[in-house]
Chains A and B, each alone.
Chain A
Amino acid sequence: MVSQVNETAVDKAPDHLILRVRKRPWYVWLLRAVWVVWILAWLEFAIGSKQEIEPQAFSIAVKVLIVSVLLGLGLYFWRLREERKGSGEGVAASAE
């Protein structure tokens, strides 16, 4: 399954449709992987700090975790919105 459709073009030839899908560039996938590792590391640190009874470390870890998740998701949805705008009105832009 294609994870993301950036641009859709419809060829209105009489007997068939052509769907063009633009792949995400490699650095976007890299950034997503880094973000996931970052989130997991802070999640692990938060859990570990809770077990270690280190309230200040736990508090910082949770704050960083929440900010990181919100920033990541915010950026994702902002980019998605921008792409939908750029892909043209009335055309299905996402297969995700």
Chain B
Amino acid sequence: MPDDVKRRDFLAACVGAGGIAAGGVSSSAAFQAINDDDSVVSSKPWWVSQVDEPVLAIDDDVYARFNQHKNVLNAYRDYVTEERAQEVQEMKAAMRADVEAGTLPGYRREDNALMSAGWTLRGTGNMNRGLRSWAPQRRGGPATPWETTPEHAANVVKRAARFFGAADTGIAPLDRRHIFSRSYGVDIHFEEVDEAYEVEGEKAVIPEKVKYAIAVVVRMSPDVAAVAPSQLCDATTSLGYSRLEFTVGHLGAFIRNLGYTAIPSVNGLGSSPAFAVDAGLGEMGRTNRFISPTFGPAVQLGKVLTDMPMAVDKQIHFGLKEFCTVCGRCAETCPSEALSFDEQPSFEVRGEFNNPGHQTWSEDCVKCFEFWEESNSYCSTCIMVCPWAKKDKTALHEVIKASSAKMPILDRLLVSMDERFGYGKMKDPDAWWDLDLQEHGVDSW
């Protein structure tokens, strides 16, 4: 048996095929990879391959740490004229009256209240604040670092992350180029120090000994993501951030209790999608956003940086690059035409808001942000229409995903079928309030 087809992968494939044949067996359970006692936890479907080289290339001569202040959320007015900014604000205000009156589906009073309430935990702090504090406090156990094998440490961390609410977790060696050069008003440095610290308004310091990034995925509610663009849809975005806050905060505390440094983070500090790709949790799609093989694009990402030695994961490939090459539904549907129609990913950037040096389908973040403003929402249409965004209630989705991963020649047919079957259409936001929901509207099994 070749090295790349391990016994457990083969068995998992057989179990998966049996699940399909039986019809109605829980698909994700049927596709769980079998975990040997001495291996690192892996819940990847059998059709996901591990790769040694990045699927989307990085130009080492160009790729460097990005100043997060160039992000369109921070620097929008640097990228447009004053007239344009005013025009967008006027469009936002024009819709605002209807939003406040609650007359629009998805923008009713209860939708707005749900979305705003979703931010509650997230609102307790930002980088190095609240649950994401870098302070080295511990709540139990000896101060000496826990000693075990890297494989066991990785297993334990992944189990703990799951316990704290992560749908998926991966571990990558820390690539410092993914750390922002500047974030939340401070420059970020690496220094030979024992603990991370911040000099307010000046600099934040990560210890040189921090060598690992634990990337965590939190799943958005597929039922809510299916009503984009609307403020009801935004509720899964806001709640997702709060859940990430909870997850990375608790995971950081767990690692500190084991005697190591932990720096929990959500959107600040560094590029969460870059860490998630390095940690083998998914690939970047045409949306210029992270896509998980299991959960699709409706996910949110966080990370915890640490010095605890752990076995790292390899990057993965499940045919997404090939699929996005022939699909393009997100670009066709994007209300602001912000996404790329280029057939192949490239190193081209659309503005200073893009970090150059990595192959991708670059996005015009200004157009995207302007639609957020105009629509009084965070849009998410690209997430809703993506064929990888499915609710996992039927095993056929797993068969389709596996077919795309292993037989890219079928991708065009699969995209066409996805449209014919009516997927990706906006659901009635008012009907959402009558659904039977799971906790947080999510089933990540």
A residues neighboring B (CB under 8 Å): 37, 40-41, 43-45, 47-49, 51-57, 60
Contacts and interface: CB of A to CB of B under 8 A. Distances in A.
A47 B24 contact: yes
B21 A54 contact: no
**8 closest A-B pairs by CB:** A48-B394, A56-B422, A40-B23, A48-B393, A57-B421, A44-B23, A51-B393, A52-B391
Contacts of B422: 54-57
Contacts of A53: 223, 226, 427, 431, 435
A45 B21 contact: no
Contacts of A55: 422
Tell me whether chain B's interface is mostly helix, strand or loop, or mixed.
loop
B23 A43 contact: yes
A52 B394 contact: yes
Given A40-B23, A41-B395, A60-B420, 17 more contacts: A40-B22, A44-B24, A44-B395, A44-B396, A45-B396, A47-B24, A47-B394, A48-B393, A48-B394, A52-B391, A53-B431, A53-B435, A54-B422, A54-B423, A56-B421, A56-B422, A57-B421
B20 interface: yes
A54 B23 contact: no
Contacts of A52: 390-391, 393-394
Interface of B: 20-24, 223, 226, 390-391, 393-396, 420-423, 425, 427, 431, 435
Contacts, number: 52
Contacts of B24: 40, 43-44, 47
A89 B24 CA distance: 45
Contacts of A60: 420-421
A57 B419 CA distance: 10
Contact of A41 (B391, B396, B435): B396
A45 B423 CA distance: 14
Tell me whether chain A's interface is mostly helix, strand or loop, or mixed.
helix
B394 A49 contact: yes
A94 B439 CA distance: 55
Contacts of A56: 421-423, 425
A36 to B, nearest CB: 9
21 contacts: A37-B23, A41-B23, A41-B395, A41-B396, A44-B24, A44-B396, A45-B394, A45-B396, A47-B393, A48-B394, A48-B395, A51-B394, A52-B390, A52-B391, A52-B393, A53-B427, A54-B422, A54-B423, A55-B422, A56-B423, A60-B420
A53 B427 CA distance: 8
A52 B421 CA distance: 12
Contacts of A43: 23-24
A93 B205 CA distance: 88
B233 to A, nearest CB: 15
Nearest to A40: B23
A59 to B, nearest CB: 8
Contacts of A54: 421-423
Nearest to B391: A52
